[in-house]
Structure 1
Amino acid sequence: MAEHPHLGTLIPQLLVERGIDTVFGIPGVHTVELYRGIPGSGLTHITPRHEQGAGFMADGYARATGKPAACFIVTGPGLLNIATAMGQALADSIPMLVITTLNPRQTLGRGEGHLHELRGQSVVGREVSALALTIWTADQLIPAFDEAFAFMASARPGPVLIEIPIDLLSEPFPGPVTSMRKPAGPPVPRTDDVEAAAALIAKAKKPLVIAGGGAVAGADAVRGLVEKLGAATLLTANAKGILPSGHPLLAGGCMLTPSLHRAIGEADLVLALGTELGETEFWYELDGLKLNGAVIRVDIDPRQLHRNARPSLPVVGDAGRFAAALAPLVKTIEGGAAYARQLQAARLDGADPRYVRHRPLLDAIWQVLPEAVVAADSTAASYGGNFMAEPPAARRWMSAATGFGTLGYALPAAIGAKVGRPKVPVVCIIGDGGLQFTLPELASAADAGAPIIVLLWNDQRYGEIEEYMVRNQIAPLGVCLQATDFSAAAKAFGASHVAARSLGEVKEALLAAAGAPVTTIIEMDASQYA
């Protein structure tokens, strides 16, 4: 490295020193200076077909590995293209680092029609970022990177945006390149809060634990607490696998059904770990949900502690660290396993049969491929999976059907997961409508040598929206789609295709696809599948 490298050349080095090993991006004239330093840096670069794909890939990578990836994004249209993926990651608290460019400093705000010029780009970026920083001078580069990585190590996760004017990328860095000190970790709960929680729990006769995505990083500690306490436990969609399938205290996941709503209301204490208790976890019935007992809420973000459900005891801190500190202070409460079995048996009462029909399909994935990571789009099987899927470990289920709720997420997210965990099978669950949002990313998987398995449910429509329109007495316009030849599309993008008409055929296809060198689309025609 030169004594005074240009900023564009230095940035890849800074990323590697801070633990980033993968970058998703499409080179453009505004970002090419960032690419000078990639060869020999140790960074892996993956090229999507659209910047939205870059963001979803980074999302899937982070969910599957627990580590952030970076995205190199051009000014203006590039940032707007990735904004949807950043919004999804912000809603689900998924870390990623987005490095984007600005037009030259002397042109900003002048409206002179420069390439990629976007008025108020920084304003747009801030709205879909947990933290947004703009570098205006060369000496601000390392402090900005230090702040960004300190934030990602200690705060509620989400997209971090760094903007750099393109003229600055060619400037030499003015001083010695100093290494970053290891940033502090997430906040440790106060001892008196942990003791207060133990005192509340000691009075409980019928406690219930709800663990969310904020508990995944501390999955072992949370599982240890649950087992010490002996309490029935519900997992949100983003927390699936903290308790594996068949665990005696697993009462269900994603609180969508009346039986689980009643259980939450009947609990004399709810311990909510790293969850925002958002409406998509309760099927849009949050206003009617009653938490009648004491509520202990633990969250890394103090603002989140008082949203959606007011706590008896709010605790600021990392859920895993809280669980590890609390476990020695609690005694086992009798009856938790029996209560969990009761809730498991009743959790599908009142569930929509359109979702329940997919349970055998969801179960088959881990029966055939026990190590599989699953990325789920907004489609009926995914909605069902949010409350029925029971993966064997954490970081095996990722869903876009919560929070921001985007279509087309699952395909690029699965590719990102495969890049991050190349030795395990990765399965994408998606409908025909959603797949057509990001279909060209099949070519990105081929380029990256990241073969995935696509379980495609094809009903030639936006079926969920059609059902909603009919239920609300709205003529179902705009929801029927022209039949697409996905076999031909697979061939065009370097993938293989197989039609499956039964669960048995799906299982056979899953097993074959797991060893295939290319992506496999397993298409289930809704009109023929039985």
Structure 2
Amino acid sequence: MADHPHLGTLIPQLLVERGIDTVFGIPGVHTVELYRGIPGSGLTHVTPRHEQGAGFMADGYARATGKPAACFIVTGPGLLNIATAMGQALADSIPMLVITTLNPRQTLGRGEGRLHELRGQSVVGREVSALALTIWTVDQLVPAFDEAFAFLSSSRPGPVLIEIPIDLLSEPFPGPVTSMRKPAGPPMPRADDVEAAATLIAKARKPLVIAGGGAVAGADAVRELIEKLGAATLLTANAKGILPAAHPLLAGGCMLTPSLHRAIGEADLVLALGTELGETEFWYELDGLKLNGVVIRVDIDPRQLHRNARPTLPVVGDAGLFAAALAPLVKAIEGGAAYARQLQAARLDGADPRYVRHRPLLDAIWQVLPDAVVAADSTAASYGGNFMAEPPAARRWMSAATGFGTLGYALPAAVGAKVGRPKVPVVCIIGDGGFQFTLPELASAADAGAPIIVLLWNDQRYGEIEEYMVRNQIAPLGVRLQATDFSAAAKAFGAKHVAARSLGEVKESLLAAASAPVTTIIEMDASQYA
């Protein structure tokens, strides 16, 4: 038995064999056995400054690359720390694998004051996971990993949690470890559903496509379907780039200005591909969307098909596979490009000027850095970006201002994106309030050799919340922030700091920062920025 490797030592091998190449985590006494097998495994390990940062980094990595990363997380406080990031990933359907530990099996539930003891840890984990598994015996290890990766490859994406008691990590594994068979892919839509969709579409005269994050993995097929159909298309925040900027069928983002609200209601057919049609995708009020025509909804998750909008035709299946199957069956509908131009021209009518003011800044990023990946926090420029940003390709815009809506997301998410795509510039858009949630992750970027560009909007307040309080006749309280010397903070973490007082200075700074060997913070003082 002594000659057999320990279970913990084998886990890096299992990850590599299943396509994982990056792990985010902070070693602790409850996870060190997982680290024995990392040297020589081919895994890249990145150490954040907080477990929440590990989760946000894995999120950014997945959004930028389309592949999951793993997180090694200690029992108790580690899981609670990463829970917020898992909640964001769950809400936005972002894949990641979180491996955490439990206290020794013989101590569980006894309340003996063990290190990191958390009553009901598994209950907490299940609430922020798409799938949660606990390994209790050595022979459950490989089947659990196979189940986890089968889920990641064939179901609606989200965080997958695997819990392992720490005493089990040190047990010998008799082996051999068999390689995982090729996992099943995402579900194919039924042929009769595809044919039914084609029949409904053939009768439409004013169709509208709404594509969401579930369409990104099949972006090429979805774009080909849209072009074959010739239909005006709206892209949610998580679908940006499926149609690039200036595409003739791109009608814009999804924030419900009056013109887009009318367009959705007036469409005689809405084809919704991989979208929740949810509140934070459209920022509608409680009464929701008004879809008055035929509605075809395609989603990998059958539970989602009847939420927020009732479909005429619900289709269970992967959006990309559906698009590929449908494209040969449809013909172009006249007037789609003209209608898209009409919606583009009117889409800012009635839009909140607090968001519209940031459009030149958003446009400038890809003008200066065409290959940039952008991670956006919950801040005014990000809300505007969810509506107005038009990246040149998919996986170039990621935002926390949807779904769970966390603050501080963008900085570690940008680090994760840079780790995953080291050859392209990665830009973080963040406000001064959110920046201070995760500011220490600047050190993680330096450690990982992953310099990013931070566009910091500094108005010395939680501006969105203050505006909301004022609109609702609540005296603003707790929203004004102490002035922070971000130049000193940058120096402390080995980053460069630039003050940009105009859009021209931002563009110059972006260009310089793209080739800098360290992270650059481009600070825009709201009181001086013109």
TM-score range relative to shorter protein: over 0.9
Q: Note the alpha carbon deviations across 1:154-210, whole angstroms, 9 max, x for none.
A: 000000000000000000113311111000100000000000000000000000000
Whether the 8 Å contact between 1:408 and 1:435 is mirrored in structure 2 is: yes
Q: 1:2 to 1:207 in 2, by over 3 A?
A: farther
Verify the 8 A CA contact 1:257 1:348 in the aligned structure 2.
Answer: yes
Specify the SS of the correspondent of 2:457.
strand
* Conserved 8 A contact 1:456-1:523: yes
Displacement after TM superposition at 1:256 (Å): 2.6
Counterpart Cα distance in 1 of 2:510 and 2:137: 52
Note if 1:300 corresponds to 2:300.
yes
Question: What is the DSSP-based 3-state SS (H/G/I as helix, E as strand, rest coil) of the residue aligned with 1:233?
Answer: strand
Partners of 2:451 and 2:3 in 1: CA distance: 41
* Maintained 8 Å contact 2:299/2:318: yes
Offset, 1:3:
6.5
* In 2: Cα distance, 1:487 partner to 1:239 partner: 35
| Correspondences of 1:411-450 after superposition (within 5 Å) | 411-450=411-450
Contact 2:61/2:418, CA 8 A, preserved across alignment: yes
Q: Distance in 2 between matches of 1:289 and 1:279?
A: 9
> How far did 1:283 drift?
1.1
Using the alignment, how far apart are the partners of 1:256 and 1:416 within structure 2? 31
Q: Which deviations, in whole Å up to 9, do the C-alpha atoms of 1:305-348 show, x marking residues without a partner?
A: 01000000000000000000000000000000000000000000
Give the match's secondary structure for 2:305.
helix
Work out the CA distance in 1 between the residues paired with 2:64 and 2:262: 33
Deviation for aligned residue 1:292: 0.4
> Cα distance, 1:286 vs. partner?
5.3
Unaligned residue ranges in structure 2 (runs of 5+): none
- Kept in 2, the 8 Å contact 1:10–1:37? The answer is yes
SS in 1 for 2:164: strand
Shift of 1:2: 9.6
Q: CA deviation at 1:285?
A: 2.2
Deviation at 1:255, TM superposition (A): 3.0
Preserved CA contact (<8 Å) 1:256 1:281: no
Q: Is residue 236–residue 253 contact of structure 1 (8 Å, CA) maintained in 2?
A: yes
**Distance apart, 1:289 and its partner CA:** 2.2
> Quick one: distance in 2 between partners of 1:36 and 1:255?
48
Secondary structure, counterpart of 2:481 in structure 1:
coil
**Secondary structure in 1 matching 2:308:** coil
Question: Contact 2:289/2:309 (CA < 8 Å) preserved in 1?
Answer: no
Q: 1:257: how far off? A: 1.1
Distance 1:175 1:478 in 2: 58
**Partners of 1:376 and 1:399 within 8 A in 2:** yes
Deviations 1:411-451 (A, max 9, x none): 00000000000000000000000000000000000000000
Can you list the C-alpha shifts for 1:266-303, whole angstroms capped at 9, x where unaligned?
Answer: 00000000000000122132514210000000000000
Q: 1:190 to 1:2 in 2, by over 3 A?
A: farther
Q: Is the 8 A contact 1:4 1:176 kept in 2?
A: no
Percent identical residues: 95
Deviation at 1:105, TM superposition (A): 0.2
Name segments (4+ residues, structure 1) moved above 2 Å: 1-4
- CA change 1:428–1:398 in 2 (3 A) is same
* Separation (CA, whole Å) in 2 of partners of 1:175 and 1:44: 25
Cα distance in 1 for residues equivalent to 2:187 and 2:454: 39
Distance 1:455 1:179 in 2: 44
Q: Is the 8 A contact 2:65 2:421 kept in 1?
A: yes
SS at 1:270 equivalent: strand
Contact 1:139 1:174 in 2 (8 A): no
Conserved? CA contact 2:289–2:308, under 8 Å: no
State whether residues 126 and 132 of structure 1, in contact with CA within 8 Å, keep that contact through their aligned partners in structure 2.
Answer: yes
The 3 A distance-change label for structure 1 pair 320 and 180 is same
Aligned residues: 530
Q: Deviations over 1:384-417 (max 9, x none)?
A: 0000000000000000000000000000000000
Classify the secondary structure of the residue corresponding to 1:322.
Answer: helix
| Alpha carbons 2:375, 2:427 under 8 Å: kept | yes
* Map of 1:163 onto structure 2: 163
For residues 393 and 377 of structure 1, the distance between their equivalents in structure 2, rounded to whole angstroms, comes to: 20
Q: Is the 8 A contact 1:3 1:176 kept in 2?
A: no
Conserved? CA contact 1:5–1:172, under 8 Å: yes
Distance 1:282 1:184 in 2: 33
Q: Give the Cα separation in 2 of the matches to 1:288 and 1:327.
A: 30
Q: Check whether the contact 2:288–2:308 (CA below 8 A) recurs between aligned residues.
A: no
CA-based RMSD of the aligned residues comes to 1.0
Distance 1:340 1:522 in 2: 35
Residues 61 and 416 of structure 1 are in contact (CA less than 8 Å); yes or no, is this contact kept in structure 2? yes
1:443-502, Cα deviation, whole Å (9 max, x unpaired) = 000000000000000000000000000100101000000000000000000100000000
Equivalence for 1:328: 328
SS of 1:209 mapped into structure 2: strand
SS in 2 for 1:361: helix
Whole-Å separation in 1 of the counterparts to 2:281 and 2:106:
48
SS at the partner of 1:455? strand
Q: Secondary structure at the match of 2:501?
A: coil
Distance apart, 1:33 and its partner CA: 0.3
Is 1:99 the counterpart of 2:85? The answer is no
1:124 CA displacement: 0.1
Cα deviation, residue 258, structure 1: 1.3
Relative to structure 1, is the Cα distance of residues 424 and 467 closer, same or farther in structure 2, using a 3 angstrom cutoff? same
Contact 1:75/1:103 (8 A) holds in 2: yes
Alignment partners' CA distance in 1, 2:355 and 2:254: 13
The CA distance in 2 between the partners of 1:229 and 1:282, in whole Å, is 24
8 Å contact kept, 1:428–1:455: yes
Structure 1: state its 5+ residue gaps: none
CA 1:169–1:288 in structure 2 vs 1: closer, same or farther (change >3 Å)?
Answer: closer
Query: For residues 283 and 177 of structure 1, what CA distance do their matches in structure 2 show?
Result: 49
Task: Give the whole-Å Cα distance in 2 for the aligned partners of 1:287 and 1:134.
Answer: 40
SS at match of 1:522: strand
Give distance in 2, aligned partners of 1:259 and 1:285: 16
Where in structure 2 are the equivalents of 1:274-353 lying within 5 Å? Answer: 274-285=274-285, 287-353=287-353
Distance 1:140 1:266, change over 3 A: same
Q: TM-score, normalised by structure 1?
A: 0.99
Q: What does residue 109 of structure 2 align with?
A: 109
In structure 2, C-alpha distance between the alignment counterparts of 1:59 and 1:288, rounded to whole Å: 28
Q: Distance in 2 between matches of 1:272 and 1:456?
A: 35
